[in-house]
Amino acid sequence: MGLLDELSDSIASTTKEFGKFAQNAGDLTKLQYDKKVKEGELIKLYEKLGKKYYQEHKEEDIEEIKEITAVTLRIKEISEDIMALKGGVACPKCQALVKNGSKYCSACGAKIEDIFEE
Ligand SMILES: [Zn+2]
């Protein structure tokens, strides 16, 4: 076998090895991506289940339930503070900012006075 043939074989072999390497890297990237997607789906399913469970058990004496209720209330308080700093209140129907003195929510059209009377 001549030197050129050997070189040619060596290049072919290297190209084949690189092809395998590139395919493995591609497979790995795809598997890692698929894993991330599935992990994201799992988190969403747990969240969905958690919300459902919370709704069905929110009066029960369970530590996490009480924590969720407390955090939810705190978020509501913070939202009200943000709205107050922006010069309005949260629409009780859709939570959009309703500027002080407005009679209707510009986002959902709810009549603010009616909502406050309810
Ligand atoms: Zn609204």
Using one digit for the tens of pLDDT, what is the confidence trace for 81-106?
Answer: 999 999 998 898 998 999 988 999 99
pLDDT exceeds cutoff 70 at 1? no
- Ligand 1 centroid–CA 89 distance in Å is 10
Q: Can you say how many angstroms the Cα of residue 9 is from the centroid of all Cα atoms in its chain? A: 52
- Ligand 1 centroid–CA 100 distance in Å is 14
At 61, is the secondary structure helix, strand, or coil?
coil
- Ligand 1 centroid–CA 92 distance in Å is 7
At 118, is the secondary structure helix, strand, or coil?
coil
d(CA 114, CA 103): 9
Are the C-beta atoms of 91 and 112 separated by less than 8 Å?
A: yes
Residues 67 and 98 in one domain: yes
Q: Are strands 97-99 and 88-90 parallel, antiparallel or unpaired?
A: antiparallel
- Ligand 1 centroid–CA 54 distance in Å is 25
Stretch 76-84: mean pLDDT: 92
Tell which of 57, 79, 94 closes a domain: 57
Residue 116: which pLDDT band, with cuts at 50, 70 and 90?
low
Q: Which residue has the tokens 């390497």?
A: 21
- Ligand 1 centroid–CA 104 distance in Å is 8
- Ligand 1 centroid–CA 103 distance in Å is 11
pTM over 0.85: no
Residues 14 and 64 in one domain: no
Residues 72 and 106 in one domain: yes
Give 111's strand partners. Answer: 104
Which amino acid is present at 78? I
Q: State the total domains in the chain.
A: 2
d(CA 53, CA 57): 6
- Ligand 1 centroid–CA 111 distance in Å is 8
